[in-house]
Amino acid sequence: MAIAKAERLMNLALCLLGTRRPLSKRELRDSIEAYVEAFGPGNGAGGNDDSFNRMFERDKDDLRELGLVIETVESLDGEVGYLARRDSNRLPPITLDAEEAAALGLAAKVWQQARLAGAASGALQKLRAAGLPEDVDPYGSHGALEPRIPVHEAAFEPLMLACRDRRPVVFDYRKATAAHPEQRHVEPWALECWRGHWYLAGWDRDRGAERVFRLSRITGKVRSRGGRYTADVPDVVTVRETVASWAGEITDRSARIRLRSDAGYPLRAKATSVRELGDGWDELEIPYGHGLDAWLVEFGPDVVVLEPAELRADVVDRLRAVAKG
């Protein structure tokens, strides 16, 4: 939700909750700054009544969808008014058992290094004030569990906000096989952490397709762009599955490679068999899936693909592209 709209809805909700009598559309229009700035005062002189009515009805529906109970009351003179009674919009008492309290404490600690740390700590304090047990240890009896979500990339915060507000962005991105970064125009969908790295899933406007970007490969600043999204945001964004597939984690066959004896330990960890060849080289059989060529290129001259032929050709093509760059 855009920040301007969220602020407008908040102000409308506060007006409806704070009034002791039903307020008419005209009164609400004159009381909320966003309405006044967009449509002028509610005296009918601005000629924007229809536009205001459409926005007001959308805002009212949005608040109701968020759970606010808004009553519609007709006065004696036939004018319709609106209010949200506090007793109708009061949450029931919060009751948490020990496991639920521990889970909330654990979730708050996870974001200790991120921008959400303040919000998480504030929410935890409010829950404690509402009855969250003080003596609940979210880490267990010995404090051995220390969950963290590492957020070291400068691109994380602007991308998190862009995902939330549905704002297109522009950034420079260097692929693993490229010598220089190139500009990408992206409609961001979701951020997810996988194997200690943050990834962004979104719609790449230049390529007209869904793409996943590793945040550590974004160079320079992330810049916001105006306008709406041009592609629909899917209901489920499978960042981890996509990255796992690109990294060769989803495999259906095997590949044979030669690897220097003192290199490529991540490859050795995945190998199903290792055979010493002598002269400082080993032969490995490793699972083969989509994206393995990009991973092998990262090991440079320490890896030589033996088979299959198409994997060898893909690796050679990538290396030539890097050399040309």
pLDDT digits (tens, 9 = 90+) for 154-164: 888 899 889 88
Contact 319, 311 (CB under 8 A): no
Q: Which of 114-118, 169-173, 296-300 has the lowest mean pLDDT?
A: 114-118
For residue 321 the two structure tokens come to: 């592209």
Domain ranges within the chain, ordered by starting residue: 3-88, 93-149, 156-245, 247-324
Give the single-character DSSP code of 289: E
Q: What was the pLDDT predicted at 143?
A: 47
Residue, of 152 and 183, whose pLDDT is higher: 183
Residue 138 has pLDDT above 50, yes or no: no
Q: What was the pLDDT predicted at 114?
A: 54
Q: What was the pLDDT predicted at 59?
A: 93
What's the CA gap between 30 and 34, in Å, rounded? 9
Contact 251, 245 (CB under 8 A): no
Q: What was the pLDDT predicted at 306?
A: 94
What's the CA gap between 298 and 176, in Å, rounded? 7
Give me the mean pLDDT over the 197-201 stretch: 86
Give me the mean pLDDT over the 242-251 stretch: 60
Give 282's strand partners. 259, 276
CA atoms within 13 A on the CB side of 269: 4
Q: Does domain 3-88 have CATH number 1.10.10.10?
A: yes
Distances in whole angstroms, Cα of residue 124 to Cα of each of 54, 92, 103, 320: 38, 18, 11, 54
Q: H or E stretch including 87?
A: none
Q: What was the pLDDT predicted at 65?
A: 87
What's the CA gap between 202 and 225, in Å, rounded? 15
Angle at 305 between CA 300 and CA 307, to 5 degrees: 165
Q: What was the pLDDT predicted at 140?
A: 46
The CATH code that applies to domain 156-245 is 2.30.30
43-52, 140-149, 200-209, 245-254: which is most confident:
200-209
Q: What was the pLDDT predicted at 135?
A: 52
Residues 6+ apart with CB under 8 A from 186: 168, 169, 170, 171, 200, 202, 203, 204, 205, 211, 213
DSSP 19-54: -SS-EEHHHHHHH-HHHHHHH--TTS-SS-HHHHHH
Instruction: Choose among 34, 39, 29, 26: nearest CA to 10.
Output: 34
DSSP 234-275: PSS--HHHHHHHHTT-SEEEEEEEEEETTS-HHHHHH-SEEE
Q: What was the pLDDT predicted at 71?
A: 92
Give 276's strand partners. 282
Residue 119 pLDDT class (50, 70, 90 cuts)? low
Residue, of 102 and 161, whose pLDDT is higher: 161
Q: Where does residue 151 rank: exposed (0-12), middle (13-18), buried (19+ CB within 10 A)? A: buried
Contact 263, 302 (CB under 8 A): yes
Q: What was the pLDDT predicted at 256?
A: 94
Distances in whole angstroms, Cα of residue 319 to Cα of each of 89, 257, 309, 315: 62, 16, 15, 6
Give me the mean pLDDT over the 147-175 stretch: 83
Residue 134 pLDDT class (50, 70, 90 cuts)? low
What are the phi and psi torsion angles at 117 (to 5°)? -60, -45
